[in-house]
Amino acid sequence: MSRFGATLLVALLAMAEAAPAQQAGMQDVAPALQPPVAAYRAGDRAAAETAFRGLAPGNADAQAWLGAVLLDRGADREALRLIQQAAGAGSPEGEHRLALVYALGLAGVPRDDAKAAALFEKAAAAGHTRAQINLGILYLAGRGVPRDVVLARSWLEKAALSNDPQALYTLGRAMSDASEQAGPDPVRAADLYRRAAEKGHVLAGLRYGLALSEGFGVKADPAAAQRWLTQAQERGVPEAALALGDLAARTPASRDKAANEKVVKAAISWYEIAASGGVPSAQFKLANAYFAGVGVTRDPAQAQAWYTRAAQQGQPQAQYAVGIMLLGGVAGAKDPVEGYKWLILAERNGHPDAKSVREKSAEQLSDAERRRAEELAQRFTSTLERPLDDAAANGPARPSASR
C-alpha cells in the first residue's frame, strides 16, 4: 500500500461522517433533505432524527440518512436495517452508507473491503460525490480492489467536477502520489490544494502552504506559505506548526546576532507547539534543541523525554537517540537493557548507524540482558499520539458527526 493509502484511507472513509460543515457540500442531497442534513452536520442530531423519521416512509435516501444518525448515536440494529433497506431500494446514499459499514466494520458487521468497493462503485456510478471519493481512495490503496492509480484518479476527477473541497483535496493527494502506472503531478496537485484551501479545507491549506514553502509545483513564496500555514495551525493542525518552524529555521543568517537568535527562538517555539500536539518529527527536533542548547537552555533530561515520545511513535532517529542516551546515562541513570531495545528498533526501522552501535554495545551486556532487550523490542508496538498526516488512525474510526 502506498503512503497515500496508509495515511489517508481510513480518514477519508470516516470523513464521510466527520467533515466540518464548511467542507461538506450538498451535491448528493435532494432539496427536501437538505434542511435536516444541515441540522445533522451542525450537530443537532435530535432535530435531524425527527425530520428524517418524518421523511423516511417512501424515501430511501431519508432512510439512509436516518440510519446514519442512529449509527452515530449507537442504535446499531435499527441503523443497519434502515441502511440495508435504502441500499436494497437502489438509493445511492444507502449504497454509500452500507459501503461505509463494510469499509469500517460498523454496527457489528465484519469489515469486507470487496463488498465496500462494490457498493461504493454502484453509488459512484450514479454520481454520488462522496462514493466517488471513497472509491478512488480504495483504488489508490488497493483495498478491496487492485491498486490502480489511473482508475483512482479517474473517479476522483469525476468527484472534483462538483468543486467539493474534499474531492479537490483528495484528487490533489492522488496527484502527489506515484506508481508504475502514473507519475506525480505537483503543479496540478498544488492548484487543487489551493482551490480546496480557498473553500475552507484546512488540510488543503496545510498542503498548499507546504508547496509554497518548498516551491513544489508552484513558485516558492515564503510570505504566502506562512499565511496559509499559520491559518492551518490556528485551526488545529499541529503539523502546520512544524512547517512554520522549518520555515523559520531556513531563514538565511544575517550579521545581526540578535536577529538570528530571534529567528532560532521563533523556530523552537513553533516546534514546541507541534511537539506538544503530538507530531513526532517536531518532538525529535525539539529534543535536538534541548540536547544541543540551541534556542533553549541545554537540558539533556528534557531532550531524552522528547526523544522518548517520538520514539514511542516509531520515529527511528529518536529511537536511536534515546538508545544512545540510555546506554550512556547521558540524562541520568543508565539503562542498558532499555537502551539496547531502542537500538534494535531503530535498526529495524532503517536507521543507518543503529546496527554498528548495537553490535558494539552488545559486548557490554550479559546474555540475559540481551535476551530481555530483544523480548522488549519484540513486544513493542508504536503508539501514535495523533492520527497520521490526514487525521487518519491506525485502524478504522467510527464516524461521529455528519457528512
Specify burial of residue 171 (Cβ count, 10 A radius: 0-12, 13-18, 19+): buried
Distance CA 399, CA 105 (A): 11
Whether residue 205 is contained in a domain is answered as no
Q: Is residue 41 part of a domain?
A: yes
388: β partners: 392
What mean pLDDT, rounded, does the chain reach? 90
Give the C-alpha distances (Å, rounded to integers) separating 210 from 179, 192, 201.
22, 13, 14
What is the domain-level CATH number for residue 36? 1.25.40.10
CB 275 within 8 A of CB 282: yes
Q: For Cα atoms 228, 234, 237, give the angle at the middle one, nearest 5 degrees.
A: 80
Residue 388's pLDDT is what? 61
Q: Cell numbers 540481551 correspond to what residue?
A: 370
Asked if residue 239 is part of any domain, the answer here is: no
Q: Which ranges in 42-185 belong to alpha helices (H)?
A: 45-55, 60-72, 76-88, 92-104, 113-125, 129-141, 149-160, 165-176
pLDDT band of residue 2 (cuts 50, 70, 90) is very low
Cell 504566502, located at residue: 224
DSSP bridge partners of 392: 388
User: Number of structural domains, the chain?
Assistant: 2
Question: CA–CA separation, 149 vs 184, rounded Å?
Answer: 10
The answer as to whether 135 is a domain residue is yes
The answer to whether 272 touches 306, Cβ cutoff 8 Å, is no
CA distance 45 to 66: 10
pLDDT in tens, 161-207: 999 999 999 999 999 988 888 899 999 999 999 999 999 999 999 99
9 in a structural domain: yes
Confidence band of 386 (pLDDT split at 50, 70, 90): confident
**142, 158, 174 — which closes off a domain?**
158
What 3-state DSSP class applies to 392?
strand
Tell me whether residue 237 is in a domain. no
Residue 304, C-beta contacts closer than 8 angstroms, at least 6 positions apart? 287, 322, 325, 326, 330, 331
Residue 21 is given by DSSP the state G
Whole-angstrom CA distances from 18 to 68, 279, 304 are 12, 21, 36
> What digits encode the pLDDT tens for the residues 89-139?
999 999 999 999 999 999 999 999 999 999 999 999 999 999 999 999 999
- From the list 173, 169, 126, 133, the residue with the least C-alpha distance to 154 is 133
Residue at 213 is within a domain:
no
Range of the domain at 358: 311-379
Cell of 66: 436516518
pLDDT > 50? residue 21: no
Q: Would you give the end-to-end CA distance of the chain in angstroms?
A: 26
| Residue 388: φ, ψ to 5° | -65, 135
Question: Is 15 contained in some domain?
Answer: yes
What span, in angstroms and rounded, lies between the C-alpha atoms of 147 and 4? Answer: 12
Quickly state the pLDDT bin for 25 (edges 50, 70, 90).
confident
Which one-letter DSSP state was computed for residue 148?
Answer: -
| Residues 90 and 122 sit within 8 Å (Cβ to Cβ) | no
Q: Domain ends where: 123, 158, 193?
A: 158
In this structure, are residues 9 and 141 in contact, taking their beta carbons and an 8 Å threshold? Answer: yes
- Which three-class secondary structure state does DSSP give residue 388? strand
The per-residue pLDDT for range 297-325, each reduced to its tens digit, is 999 999 999 999 999 999 999 999 999 99
